[in-house]
Chains A and B, each alone.
Chain A
């Protein structure tokens, strides 16, 4: 059959391209299908400090390109297209993209994760009009303005710090009474004079007149609600796995992650899940690349027994 590969990898982040390097070196025909460009979430950070081998840090976009080049050197092909449907049961698995159909004897799912949205009415409509998910990208449009950061983890803390250098005032809204962010963030945040904390609180509404004009926050302890006028809301409340495509075919847990243990095997034979989409305790680049090597091992075992 035309367009048939030993291994089709969906997603070209670190997990996808590491799987590709190992599978291609094992002399399998390998196709990576990536809808945007290589690197995945890594592209959103210009300074990765905890990927071994780069004592001065490394730009995520560059690292993604290098991973792609490394995989292509051993014969991996890349298709830039969005996967819009899959049929994973059966010996030959069908992958439908915006640019045609492809067939894999095995499939590695490496679709990673995206920003979690608050899920408030009007949130989607206001993206680019005061609602933002990337402080590094959009912070400069709020120079001298007042913004809120919603969230309490590392990325919310990092966003609040970054924005405090650009904006007049930053209001950090978190639903608990203390931040979940690592200690390293606490004292710089406390020191920043223009950062105000609104704790034990959730955002109940984004107020707007075509563009964002404020938020309504609700204190979970007192039940009190109040409006805060501001120009922008940066939402930094974690990630959601990109697994909508696979619902109904693969076992997925209550949070949307594909259920697979350290072997990366899913409940469907010949289908593997690697990186941030998989159930696992730590979602980082090093753990994503680790999964890639493991998946290739079990792909090899699977294809040998076909």
Chain B
């Protein structure tokens, strides 16, 4: 499945109301570790149709970032049935991201 770009408008529908577990990646184009994680998250989206993978660009969506208390990027959140069940900061390898899920 493809990665969904999330913003303030579609957040409720794509993340909160999702019937699949959601992995949300908060990132920015100028952040090296974010760029390292980004292709890994893309790969997870492709290989795991049971998971919905979303990305939030913190430059464009500062409000969402502060709503999640993001103070460090990349930040990954796992959201199940509208609730954050796990989170981590920093670049993680794929196996460790899958463990979060």
Given contacts A43-B32, A43-B36, A45-B32, contact A132 B93 (CB under 8 A): no
Q: Which residues of A contact B30 (CB under 8 A)?
A: 46, 136
Is there contact, CB below 8 Å, between A61 and B32? yes
A51 at the interface (CB under 8 A from B): no
For window 82-100 of A, CB contacts with B under 8 Å fall at: 82, 98-99
Q: Mark A117-134, 1 if CB is under 8 A from B, else 0.
A: 000000000011110101
- The reply on B90 being an interface residue by CB < 8 A is yes
Q: Are A132 and B91 in contact (CB under 8 A)?
A: no
Q: In the bound complex, how far is the Cα of B58 from the Cα of A137, in angstroms?
A: 11
State whether A128 and B40 are in contact (beta carbons under 8 Å apart), knowing that A43-B33, A137-B31 are contacts in the complex: no
Number of interface residues of B (CB under 8 A): 27
Q: Which positions 130-170 of chain A face chain B at CB distance < 8 Å?
A: 130, 132, 134, 136-138, 140-142
- Min C-beta distance of A201 to chain B, whole Å: 25
Stretch of A32-40, A190-198, A273-281, A296-304 lying at the B interface: A32-40
Chain A residues whose C-beta falls within 8 Å of the C-beta of B31 in the assembled complex = 134, 136-137
CA distance A80 to B36 in the complex (A): 11
Q: B34 — nearest CB in chain A belongs to which residue?
A: A137
Q: Which of chain B's residues has its CB closest to A134's CB? A: B33
A128→B35 contact, CB < 8 A: no
- Does chain A have a CB within 8 A of B48? no
What A residues does B90 contact at CB under 8 A?
127-128
- Contacting B95 at CB < 8 Å: which of A60, A82, A132? A82
B43 beta carbon closer than 8 Å to chain A:
yes
Of B2-10, B15-23, B69-77, the segment with at least 4 beta carbons within 8 Å of chain A is B69-77
B72 touches A137 (CB 8 A): yes
Quick check: is A44 within 8 A (CB to CB) of the other chain?
A: yes
Least CB distance, A232 to chain B, in whole angstroms: 7
A81-B95, A82-B95, A127-B90 known; A137-B75 Cβ under 8 A = no
| Chain B residue at smallest Cβ distance from A231 | B71
Q: How far is the CB of B2 from chain A (nearest CB, A)?
A: 19
Q: Is the CB of A98 within 8 A of B70?
A: no
Kindly identify which residue among A37, A132, A138 contacts B35, using a CB–CB cutoff of 8 Å: A37
Q: Given A37-B40, A132-B71, A232-B71, is A82 in contact with B93 using a C-beta cutoff of 8 Å?
A: yes
Q: Which residues of chain B have C-beta atoms less than 8 A from A134's C-beta? A: 31-33, 72
The one of B32, B34, B89, B94 in contact with A60, judged by C-beta atoms closer than 8 angstroms, is B32
Determine whether the beta carbon of A81 is less than 8 Å from that of B32: no
- CB < 8 Å: which of A80, A140, A232 contacts B43? A80
B94 near A80: Cβ-Cβ < 8 Å: yes
Q: Is the CB of A128 within 8 A of B75?
A: yes
Q: B96 an interface residue at 8 Å Cβ cutoff?
A: yes
Chain B contacts for A211, CB-based, 8 A: 69, 71
Is B56 interfacial (CB-CB < 8 Å)?
Answer: no
Chain A neighbourhood of B91, CB < 8 A: 36
Inter-subunit contact B72/A39 (CB<8 Å):
no
12 additional A-B pairs beyond A82-B95, A142-B71, beta carbons within 8 Å, are A35-B94, A36-B36, A36-B91, A46-B30, A80-B40, A81-B95, A127-B89, A128-B71, A128-B72, A130-B71, A137-B28, A137-B73
A-B contact pairs, 30 of them (CB 8 A): A36-B37, A36-B40, A37-B39, A61-B32, A61-B35, A61-B36, A80-B39, A80-B40, A81-B93, A82-B93, A98-B93, A98-B95, A127-B72, A127-B90, A128-B71, A128-B89, A129-B69, A132-B72, A134-B32, A136-B32, A137-B32, A137-B33, A137-B73, A138-B71, A138-B72, A140-B28, A140-B58, A141-B71, A141-B72, A211-B69
Q: List the 4 shortest-distance A-B pairs measured between CB atoms, nearest first.
A: A128-B89, A98-B95, A35-B93, A128-B72
